[in-house]
Homo-oligomer: A and B are copies of this chain.
Amino acid sequence: MTARVPIAVVGASGYTGAELVRLCAGHPRLELAVVCGERSAGSRIEHVFPHLAGRVSMELEPFDAARVASRAEVVFCALPHGQSAAAAAEMVGRGRLVIDLSADFRLRDPGAYAEWYGPHPHPRPDLLEGAVYGLPELHRDELRAVKGGARIVAAPGCYPTAAILAVAPLLRRGLLADRSLVVDAKSGVSGAGRSPGLATHFPEVGEGVRAYKVSGQHRHTPEMEQEMSAAAGRPQVVTFTPQLVPMSRGILACVYGEPRDPSIGEAELRGAMVDFYRDEPFVTVVEGGLPDTSHVRGTNRAHVGVHLDRRAGRVLAMAAIDNLGKGAAGQAIQCLNLACGFEETDGLRGVAAFP
What residues of chain A have their CB less than 8 Å away from a CB belonging to chain B? 15, 18-19, 22, 25-26, 47, 49-56, 180, 182, 184, 186, 188-190, 194, 196-198, 200-212, 214-216, 237-239, 241, 243, 245-250, 252, 254, 256, 266, 281-284, 286-298, 301, 303, 307-314, 316, 318, 320, 322, 324-325, 349-355
28 A-B pairs whose Cβ atoms sit less than 8 Å apart in the complex? A25-B351, A47-B288, A49-B354, A50-B284, A51-B351, A53-B286, A54-B301, A180-B314, A184-B184, A184-B254, A186-B243, A189-B202, A194-B203, A196-B200, A201-B202, A202-B206, A207-B355, A208-B293, A210-B293, A210-B320, A215-B316, A216-B309, A216-B311, A237-B313, A239-B316, A241-B316, A245-B245, A248-B355
Chain B residue nearest in CB terms to A19: B353
Number of copies: 4
Interchain CB contact under 8 A, A349 and B53 = no
- Known pairs A196-B197, A355-B190; A245 contacts B209 (CB<8 A): yes
Which of these, B49, B202, B211, contacts A290 with CB under 8 Å? B211
Tell me, rounded to whole Å, the shortest Cβ–Cβ distance linking A343 to chain B.
15
Interchain CB contact under 8 A, B354 and A51 = yes
**Residues of B close to A243: CB separation below 8 A:** 186, 252, 254
**A296-B254 Cα distance, complex, nearest whole Å:** 25
Which of these, B15, B56, B256, B296, contacts A355 with CB under 8 Å? B15
**A308-B215 Cα distance, complex, nearest whole Å:** 6
Which of these, B211, B307, B316, contacts A318 with CB under 8 Å? B211
Tell me, rounded to whole Å, the shortest Cβ–Cβ distance linking A308 to chain B.
6
Interchain CB contact under 8 A, A53 and B316 = no
**Residues of B close to A245: CB separation below 8 A:** 186, 209, 245-247
**Residues of B close to A248: CB separation below 8 A:** 202-203, 206-207, 355
**Residues of B close to A247: CB separation below 8 A:** 206-209, 245-246
Which of these, B56, B249, B320, B355, contacts A353 with CB under 8 Å? B249
**A256-B244 Cα distance, complex, nearest whole Å:** 18
List the 7 closest A-B pairs by CB distance, nearest first.
A208-B294, A298-B353, A203-B355, A210-B292, A51-B354, A215-B309, A239-B314
Tell me, rounded to whole Å, the shortest Cβ–Cβ distance linking A8 to chain B.
19
Tell me, rounded to whole Å, the shortest Cβ–Cβ distance linking A49 to chain B.
7
**Residues of B close to A311: CB separation below 8 A:** 216, 237
Which of these, B50, B216, B292, contacts A312 with CB under 8 Å? B216
Which of these, B15, B215, B307, contacts A307 with CB under 8 Å? B215
Interchain CB contact under 8 A, A50 and B286 = yes
| Further 20 A-B residue pairs, CB within 8 A, beyond A50-B295, A208-B247, A211-B291 | A56-B351, A180-B313, A182-B256, A184-B184, A200-B201, A205-B294, A206-B248, A206-B294, A207-B247, A207-B248, A208-B250, A209-B247, A209-B252, A211-B318, A214-B290, A237-B313, A239-B309, A239-B312, A245-B246, A298-B298
